[in-house]
Amino acid sequence: MDNKNKATILIVDDKPGNILALENLLVTKDRTILSATNGKEALQTILNKEIDLIILDVQMPGMDGFEVAQILNSNKRTKDIPIIFASAERKEHKFMLKGFEEGAVDYLFKPLDPDIAKAKVAVLLKVQLQKKELIEKNSSLQKSALLINNSADIIGIIDATTFKIEEINKAFTDIVGYSNDEVRGKPLPFFLSTEDKEFIEGLGKTEKDRLSFELRIHCKDESIKWLHWKIVIKDGKWFVNASDISSQKKADEQIQQLNNELQTNIAQLEVSNKELESFSYSISHDLKAPLRALGSYSTLMIEDYMDKLDDDGKKMLSRIGDNAANMTTMVDSLLKFSGLGKKEVEKVDINMRSVVEKCVNDINSSTEHKATVNIHTILPAKGDRLLITHVWMNLISNAIKYSGKTEKPQVDIGSTEEEDDIVYYVKDNGAGFDMAYANKLFGVFQRLHRKEEFEGMGIGLAIAQRIIIRHGGRIWAKGEPSKGATFYFSLKKN
């Protein structure tokens, strides 16, 4: 049997024979029998054990039964333990009365009547165990009441037919602003809008045993709160649990508003993209055509009228042709830059070392230079092979170009691994740049060096940046004038 349901009896008597007789009489499987032969030993046992009933001999040497009972009765922890006095001599009325005054609940007279002794002990133990159970339940109810009243969620009981609030915790009164007296007995629809009243009244006919829904509560200060209700229906009652979701609702409305604005912006962006496509088409056909004509006519004039022009005329005509060619290149670069936004990024596994080696070989085949190119560890990654190759080609060719005027030009290419990214770099010992102007590096047609020093249109890095951003990475650079530059770009591992 569970020790919790076992009764503990303490027998106190200075005669071991009396103790043994009582033990034999009262012992059962659902009882624990303890014993003491004097008052001091009895008090020590009672302080150390949970005792349900004490059978106490009145006549004992030293401390008699009345004195023991008086001490127990004065202690808050022990005063409610029932005591049965066992007496062979003091049977007079005044002694019995004294025993009851000291906390006794009954008397057993020696010699004991076994049946009466067993019956009295059984009744008193039953009452004591019921009392203990009642105290435990009451304590549990008090704890539950504290938990319910301190809960941030609404907890209560509502009649399933009349919708009257029978019990409700403090959370509801805190939310609606009414006092408990104002709320108790009021029907739930009192706090609802007409629309929600009809909804609730419709639920009164449901055959479901569980409900979950959201509705608005009208508060005393005329504000409106959204509550999410969870209800269990049993014995004609709604056992409710509800939480305030007003903040969540407000956030949902804001998100919806942002989504609506986003959809509007997307629609506007699509219109802008179409306009940009039309503009690109116009540039491609309407602007390039006269530029081609300008270049062609300047070439024809140089070929057919060279001998009729003086030196100044020849220079001006040559300048016209060069500018027309430069303008055509700029238009082509712009078209290429704008076209990147429409190109689909097709990510595949890329052997980056292989890509870098091919780029270096292609540059060596097409460009004369004296740079030493060192390829260090190049980690693989995922990306659009064609677009990533374009980035490598731009960064490596730039490094070779801008280190070309150094006595011993050197380019180092490698990669490092970070927590979520792989970072690639191209380092040179060339012209470098002032970090104060680093924000201009990736702008369209932005240059940090004069065209007479290094050729180029100033759009390659802008294209590289756009490619890396479309891969979810980033690109940046560090440099110092005349001490070289290092360009970095990162790609996600996954």
Shared domain for 119 and 177, answered yes or no, is no
d(CA 484, CA 493): 29
Q: Are strands 348-350 and 165-168 parallel, antiparallel or unpaired?
A: unpaired
Shared domain for 68 and 51, answered yes or no, is yes
pLDDT digits (tens, 9 = 90+) for 377-396: 999 999 988 888 889 988 99
Shared domain for 233 and 268, answered yes or no, is no
Is residue 250 situated within a structural domain? no
d(CA 48, CA 44): 6
**At 151, which amino acid appears?**
S
Give how far Cα 447 sits from Cα of 231, 409, 492, Å. 69, 21, 29
Give the global pTM. 0.43
Residue 478, number of CB atoms within 10 A of its CB: 15
Shared domain for 320 and 445, answered yes or no, is no
Taking 70 as the threshold, does the pLDDT of residue 360 lie above it? Answer: yes
Q: Which of 147, 167, 190 is the last residue of a domain?
A: 147
d(CA 179, CA 400): 81
28 versus 140: the higher-pLDDT residue is 28
* DSSP states along 28-60: -TTEEEEEESSHHHHHHHHHHS--SEEEEES--
Taking 80 as the threshold, does the pLDDT of residue 447 lie above it? Answer: no
Please tell me the predicted confidence (pLDDT) of residue 164: 93
Domain count, the chain: 4
Shared domain for 194 and 269, answered yes or no, is no
Please tell me the predicted confidence (pLDDT) of residue 329: 66
Please tell me the predicted confidence (pLDDT) of residue 297: 73
pLDDT digits (tens, 9 = 90+) for 122-153: 888 888 888 888 878 877 777 766 767 777 78
Shared domain for 307 and 236, answered yes or no, is no
- What CATH number did the domain enclosing 160 receive? 3.30.450.20
Please tell me the predicted confidence (pLDDT) of residue 99: 54
Please tell me the predicted confidence (pLDDT) of residue 435: 80
Shared domain for 158 and 179, answered yes or no, is yes
Query: In 60-169, where does DSSP find H-type helix?
Result: 65-73, 93-101, 114-149
d(CA 268, CA 90): 107
Closest CA to 395 of 480, 478, 464, 474: 464
Computed over every residue of the chain, the mean pLDDT equals 82
Please tell me the predicted confidence (pLDDT) of residue 311: 78
- What CATH number did the domain enclosing 452 receive? 3.30.565.10
Shared domain for 127 and 64, answered yes or no, is yes
Taking 50 as the threshold, does the pLDDT of residue 1 lie above it? Answer: no
Shared domain for 207 and 131, answered yes or no, is no
Shared domain for 113 and 164, answered yes or no, is no
Q: Which of 341, 359, 376 is the last residue of a domain?
A: 341
- Buried-exposed string 361-399: b where 16+ CB fall within 10 A, e elsewhere: eebeeeeeeebebeeeebeebbbbbebbbbbbbbbbbbb
Residue 103 is part of which domain span? 3-147
pLDDT digits (tens, 9 = 90+) for 306-337: 777 787 877 787 777 776 776 676 566 556 65
Please tell me the predicted confidence (pLDDT) of residue 153: 86
Q: Which of 341, 372, 402 is the last residue of a domain?
A: 341
SS3 percent helix, strand, coil of the chain, rounded to 5, is: 50, 20, 30
